[in-house]
Structure 1
């Protein structure tokens, strides 16, 4: 009986701590995006502020050359990059206000000037594979003056020793 009670208590405490951590991670993930790239400073920016900034400009539409990219097999320690082409398919200038990677291993760069209707811009993601092994999936959020923000772009790589 004591063993069952002890196991039950342990299970409840484990579940409670998972829920607490999950809630904290969810709260952090939805309200802030931490900048850890060489193009940004070390401050924490609220996601709602990024969305507001993107919405401050007249709305337009965009087309990505591809939302997903696969680097294939790369050697551990390689630094690789991919350029996502962005086309303004709307009637107003497209303004990319921010690109926030999911982790510090990815550094973004993007067209800072307004992209006129029919014109193209670029979003570059540079990935440092030093701390990874095997297949990895990474993403970045793009904030621009379009209906659905953020836009997610993704890449994967198979990191070989």
Structure 2
């Protein structure tokens, strides 16, 4: 009886070990391009959407950014096979170029060590405000 129980347990664990979680992101090259955006008219939030294309639950264990100006959030529950999820990223919209990397740690077998680099890029611009006195002066000069 013990041998039968051990055989069943071993077979069950062996079957589980062949299951794999795989992650596929919808963003081309795992990159989101903000493009040229204005600081005051964009909240800086973007989402990396993905799908578990494997046959085991996908577990995102950690998501971290290269700096404090980019704050990522991860799913709290495992993503079941065939289901989708998202990782939200909030950039603080500091003026200038955006070139940041977010590292996702997971049990996905289609990335070495389950680590997936995600990238954001773009440029944050500041709208030029015209001084009211300068505006009035320009109007007066046209006359």
| TM-score, normalised via structure 2 length | 0.66
Cα distance, 1:110 vs structure 2: 1.8
Equivalent in the alignment of 2:35: 72
Number of residue pairs the alignment of both structures matches: 102
- Matches of 1:154 and 1:76, distance apart in 2: 19
Say what the alpha-carbon RMSD is for the aligned residues: 1.6
Equivalent in the alignment of 2:100: 138
| TM-score, normalised via structure 1 length | 0.59
Unaligned 5+ segments in structure 1 are 1-57
Equivalent in the alignment of 1:128: 92
Specify the structure having the higher radius of gyration (Cα): 2
Runs of 4+ in 1 over 3 A off after TM superposition: 76-79
- Matches of 1:136 and 1:95, distance apart in 2: 28
- Matches of 1:112 and 1:92, distance apart in 2: 16
Unaligned 5+ segments in structure 2 are 1-18, 127-143
Equivalent in the alignment of 1:101: 65
Cα distance, 1:95 vs structure 2: 0.4
Cα distance, 1:136 vs structure 2: 2.0
